[in-house]
Structure 1
Amino acid sequence: MRWQAAPSKLFCSSPPDGNNTPPSMLRHLTSKIKATGPIPVAEYMREVLTNPVKGYYVRNNMLGPEGDFITSPEISQIFGELIGVWIISEWMGAGQPKQLQLVELGPGKGSLASDVLRVFSQLQSVLGGASVSLHLVEVSPALSLLQAQNLTGNRSQEADAEDDPVYRRGETDAGLPVSWYHQLDDVPTGFSVFVAHEFFDALPIHKFQRTEKGWREVLVDIDPEKPDTLRFVVAPAPTLASTSLVQADETRDHVEVSAEGGVIVQQLARRIIEDGGAALIIDYGHNGTKTDTFRGFKGHQLHDVLASPGSADLTADVDFNYLRRMAGGGVACLGPVTQRTFLKNMGIDTRMQVLLRNCSDPSTRKQLISSYNMLTNPAKMGERFHFFSLLHPSRLAKPQKPEGLKLEKKKSPAPLPVAGFTELKFA
């Protein structure tokens, strides 16, 4: 499972899983390195995961029991339902604007979006006449087709024009419009709530090592003694990344920085400031304390990041301190808080009581209890995953005193009908 943690084997070379003939992605990478020299880890990740021809995310459906990892929305629909309640709460706190765009980055199979939309449907009396639409940012053709099937059935089609920023359109059973994009910038402006669940951990990272001569970037190179094997090396001289991405007051000896993640957070912050809305980032991560977290997953097991590139998922813990810094001071950043804390604050215990009270089938009850344990147990996902939000500054009250350091959240203009939520049907 993707939430398991283990250090990656930095500076260890990795053979290509015993194949005599190097896989196509490995051949592509070795050709690239021979032509240009060792490449940054960020470039390695980008090629391995999102190369338009050979990339792991482009070619594979990697989710679920038969894939390489499983995510919270696949474990229980309660996870998505509670996020749906949070979204409606933020929409209400913003004054119930007439437009609500739900934007999901890296939507997987579409399970999370489906559960959120079901909450929207069953709390329609709260949403009133608001215009609701779903916008999915997805680079994988294989996953976009799966999302379309799960969310729209046969009611979607590819865009006619190649230059259309929307490459697929459809609608749900309830008639809500659904659009697919390759990048966040293509999503229309307007009041939006952005959700990114296990999205930032797959964004390319640069790795840096402190040396006697200063910070040096960690690169991926070919092992001179094994031409079909990749290895990590340290750049002999400063690179543009090592001189611009490492903070001057950094105290760690090894640092991972996702410049791409920083850019996306800046985009989210700008849109929230200009158009209103909020963003919820859910991932495993830390507050600028960890060092080497780069690792691979294949068949729900840890996998050497340099072995058989393109056959396994690559991931690294999210540095929430870096995201907070990149968001700037224009938005309010809350968290990170643990998944256990967030779900309990959103009422998962009440929801579970209702479901168990209305469930007489022993096997279903066992599944409910098991999924609850997986999501909230500190030894499992409960403290492994964290929730981090970006809010419009209007959602926070100003401190009463100049010396006050804590900002308190404003109350929503109307209470969320929890009783109505607890009566949601379990599908």
Structure 2
Amino acid sequence: MRTLLGVKTGQLLGRVLRSAAAVRCGVRLSCSSSPSMLRHLTSKIKATGPLPVAEYMREVLTNPVTGYYVRNNMLGPDGDFITSPEISQIFGELIGVWVISEWMGAGGPKQLQLVELGPGKGSLASDVLRVFSQLRSVLGEVSVSVHLVEVSSALSQLQAQKLTESRNREADNKDDPVYRRGETAAGLPVSWYRRLEDVPAGFSIFLAHEFFDALPIHKFQRTKKGWREVMVDIDPEKMDQLRFVVVPSPTLASSTLIESDERRDHVEVCAEGGVIIQQLSRRISEDGGAALIADYGHDGTKTDTFRGFKGHRLHDVLASPGSADLTADVDFSYLRRMAGRGVACLGPITQRLFLRNMGIDTRMQVLLRNSSEPSARKQLISSYDMLTNPDKMGERFHFFSLLHHSRLAKPKKAEGLKLEKKSPAPLPVAGFTELSFS
């Protein structure tokens, strides 16, 4: 085990670099408008009054009957948006190296749970597991299991097909917290859950890529009378349309979610994201492990970021609800505050810096050397540019990590020894520290 834990993260990546493969292309996807969602929302507003933006987002995205994520398969070049794992397999491979590096940094526990929140089409998990297979000699006898937190039945079927092919089945009991089970070709168990709290306890590496940006946000506006919540109401002049309103009186949310020293005039708070961060913090503190969050966001500086995407274009968030994705930039300063003192936080740093620290340039050189087809080389260069270009995803997306405090602890002198022998220094945290490829 001492030899295993002495392997550098750069050496891990070096092993992956020797396996070159082509970049995946997206598949055709589509989604349609949802007039029934608009009727549902207007009926609800007529019955109970204006809706908090958080409730509006929750209904539009995850309503069990007409929700955007529940009904649609929206990922891909011909869908409404595309994510980094779909652009290039390199992204997922580097995340896989990061997971193994953190497992090693924790001392190589005998069990490793790979937990992904909102796993999309399963591409990221698939790429990570391929790295696990390539580095099986490093992992040794560790018991690996995969746990996916996914509310969309449609997406869970895509994930199951990619990760397990036909080796999966749905639970007989709809109330079973594990609503689908399967196993990969290598025999690794895969389980699907609708809630993070249903994932079993144990040493876990949590991944959340473009997950927090889709969680419901509350919107607040500073007024002469204090903070007031922004809500969604029916437009009185156009009864078939919605509009934003600033409610005249304080709400529970406006009274509890705004920091006393807040200087901005417009604030978005993702209370649900805060709860999930607290859950991750508690689990990492109690069971060990780490969390890697990749998303577009800011460090407590932006104001109005709520927007919609349809066909890769900006879309009015209140128009044709249910037909477009809704999203808001992640406030990493809020996530850090919600994590509390139970864990150490690193970041946010830009995607460009994280991927370069992880060795994306070296990986690209290997792929290009092993690619003779002009079209494949062009695709590789295009995907690299999309992921790292500051004007594209390079500085738009950020990486943020939660770690067990022991992971960054300074070496201590061995007790009872006259010599000043020290415990081994912790391994650098991959991605947040530049790697050496010696």
**Does the pair score TM above 0.5?**
yes
For the residue of structure 2 that corresponds to 1:219, the secondary structure is: strand
Contact 2:410–2:425 under 8 Å retained in 1:
no
Contact 1:200–1:283 under 8 Å retained in 2:
yes
Counterpart position of 2:405? 393
Contact 1:135–1:187 under 8 Å retained in 2:
yes
What is the CA distance between 1:399 and its match in structure 2?
Answer: 9.8
Structure 1 letter corresponding to 2:140: G
2:175 aligned with 1:163 = yes
What is the CA deviation profile of residues 304-323 of structure 1, one whole-angstrom value per residue up to 9, with x for unaligned ones?
00000000000000000000
Contact 2:410–2:426 under 8 Å retained in 1:
no
2:412 aligned with 1:412 = no
| Structure 1 consecutive aligned stretches of length 4 or more whose deviation exceeds 4 Å | none
What is the CA distance between 1:412 and its match in structure 2?
Answer: 2.7
Query: Structure 2: any 5+ residue segments left out of the alignment?
Result: 1-31, 413-423, 431-436
What is the CA deviation profile of residues 9-68 of structure 1, one whole-angstrom value per residue up to 9, with x for unaligned ones?
xxxxxxxx9x9xx81000000000000000100000000000000000000000001210
Structure 2 letter corresponding to 1:412: L
Structure 1 letter corresponding to 2:427: S
2:182 aligned with 1:135 = no
From 382, 386, 399, the counterpart of 1:374: 386
2:345 aligned with 1:333 = yes
Q: 1:225-304, aligned counterparts within 5 Å?
A: 225-304=237-316
TM-score (norm 1): 0.89
For the residue of structure 1 that corresponds to 2:169, the secondary structure is: strand
Structure 2 letter corresponding to 1:110: G
The CA RMSD over aligned residues, in Å, is 1.8
Counterpart position of 2:8? none
2:363 aligned with 1:363 = no
For the residue of structure 2 that corresponds to 1:207, the secondary structure is: strand
Structure 1 letter corresponding to 2:185: D
For the residue of structure 2 that corresponds to 1:95, the secondary structure is: coil
What is the CA distance between 1:161 and its match in structure 2?
Answer: 2.0
2:208 aligned with 1:193 = no
Contact 1:395–1:410 under 8 Å retained in 2:
no
Q: How many residues align?
A: 389
2:363 aligned with 1:351 = yes
What is the CA distance between 1:411 and its match in structure 2?
Answer: 3.3
For the residue of structure 2 that corresponds to 1:343, the secondary structure is: helix
Structure 1 letter corresponding to 2:378: K
Contact 2:308–2:326 under 8 Å retained in 1:
yes
Distance in structure 2 (CA, Å) of the matches to 1:236 and 1:65: 43
Could you tell me the percent identity over the aligned residues?
A: 83
Distance in structure 2 (CA, Å) of the matches to 1:410 and 1:269: 24
Structure 2 letter corresponding to 1:287: D
Distance in structure 1 (CA, Å) of the matches to 2:411 and 2:257: 33
Distance in structure 1 (CA, Å) of the matches to 2:307 and 2:119: 21
From 182, 190, 196, the counterpart of 1:184: 196
From 92, 102, 112, the counterpart of 1:100: 112
2:131 aligned with 1:119 = yes
Query: Structure 1: any 5+ residue segments left out of the alignment?
Result: 1-16, 401-408, 416-421, 423-427
TM-score (norm 2): 0.87
What is the CA distance between 1:193 and its match in structure 2?
Answer: 0.2
